[in-house]
């Protein structure tokens, strides 16, 4: 199982949209895909028609007690993937995890138990830096950073680079940014085109060729509880995420098999 973490410390860049729609596109290729919502806002969960509720057993129990991740899996047969929903009680998990030995390694160990069941696990991480986001990053095989081609998003990329460096220093890990995805892209804006070109020039091996265009349906899809490709497979957002899935398969599965 290849664990992809979609992360950015800046909100509003298409992180949850990317996690959800990339998962749906990978599932459409026949891959076995698990989605994990580790954000207390649970936007990924609600974007699939779920509700922000306090259940008897949640991801917090997995991180703090002996509960297994498998006990939380919810099949989504209409979309071809499974999901582990987020919960508002993850807010308290941040505080309680501080009392546990090496708390940010727990998620990785729990995910290892599911390694034979899936080809991919995609994790939607919180936008803030804390125990949960560090746990997600430490579990990652590949880290994908979605960003808009604007000044403040570039600052967010720099912040992520610093965060990953600090995690590596503190935990003796070897994390790096494996893919940068340009999202909500407006080709009519010269500034966006300039920043896009500079990104490709500076980080040619990390920037995906696929660009996610600004698309009204991508913004509206969560209200219908579906990935965009299950609303309109011919929409430009659907086609873009399917192209991204192909690029992820070509780029990461080849490396995985070496």
Q: What mean pLDDT is reported for the chain?
A: 90
Cβ(152)–Cβ(159) under 8 Å?
Answer: no
Q: What percent of the chain has pLDDT over 90?
A: 66
Nearest 5°: phi and psi at 189?
-95, 115
Would you state the pLDDT for residue 54?
A: 58
**What sign has the CA pseudo-torsion 204, 37, 132, 16?**
positive
Would you state the pLDDT for residue 81?
A: 98
Burial label, 157 (beta-carbon count in 10 A; 0-12, 13-18, 19+): buried
- Residue 101: CB atoms within 10 Å: 6
Would you state the pLDDT for residue 258?
A: 39
Q: What is the mean pLDDT of residues 84-96?
A: 85
Would you state the pLDDT for residue 129?
A: 81
Cβ(52)–Cβ(46) under 8 Å?
Answer: yes
Q: Does the pLDDT value for residue 205 go beyond 70?
A: yes
Would you state the pLDDT for residue 40?
A: 84
Structure token digits, residue 225: 């509880």
Domains and CATH numbers, the chain: 2-257 (3.40.50.300)
H helix count then E strand count, the chain:
11, 8
pTM to 2 decimals? 0.93
């Amino acid at each position: 199982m290849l664990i992809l973490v979609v992360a950015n410390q800046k909100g509003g860049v298409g992180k949850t949209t990317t996690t959800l729609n990339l998962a749906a596109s990978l599932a459409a290729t026949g891959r076995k895909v698990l989605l994990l919502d580790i954000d207390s806002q649970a936007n990924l969960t609600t974007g699939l028609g779920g509700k922000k509720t306090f259940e008897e057993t949640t991801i917090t129990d997995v991180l703090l007690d002996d509960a297994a991740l498998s006990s939380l899996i919810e099949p989504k047969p209409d979309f071809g993937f499974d999901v582990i929903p987020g919960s508002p009680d993850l807010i308290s998990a941040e505080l309680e995890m501080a009392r546990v030995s090496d708390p940010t390694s727990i998620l990785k160990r729990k995910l290892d138990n599911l390694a034979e069941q899936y080809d991919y696990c995609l994790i939607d991480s919180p936008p803030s830096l804390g125990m949960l986001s560090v746990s997600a990053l430490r579990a990652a095989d590949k880290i994908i950073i979605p960003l808009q081609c604007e000044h403040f998003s570039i600052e967010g990329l720099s912040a992520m680079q610093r965060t990953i460096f600090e995690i590596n220093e503190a935990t003796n890990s070897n994390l790096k940014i494996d893919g940068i995805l340009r999202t909500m892209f407006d080709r009519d804006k010269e500034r966006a085109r300039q920043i896009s070109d500079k990104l490709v020039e500076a980080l040619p091996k990390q920037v995906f060729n696929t660009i996610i265009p600004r698309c009204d349906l991508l913004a509206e899809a969560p209200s219908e509880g579906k990935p965009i490709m299950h609303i309109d497979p011919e929409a430009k957002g659907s086609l873009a995420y399917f192209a991204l899935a192909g690029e992820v398969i070509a780029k990461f599965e080849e490396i995985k098999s070496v």
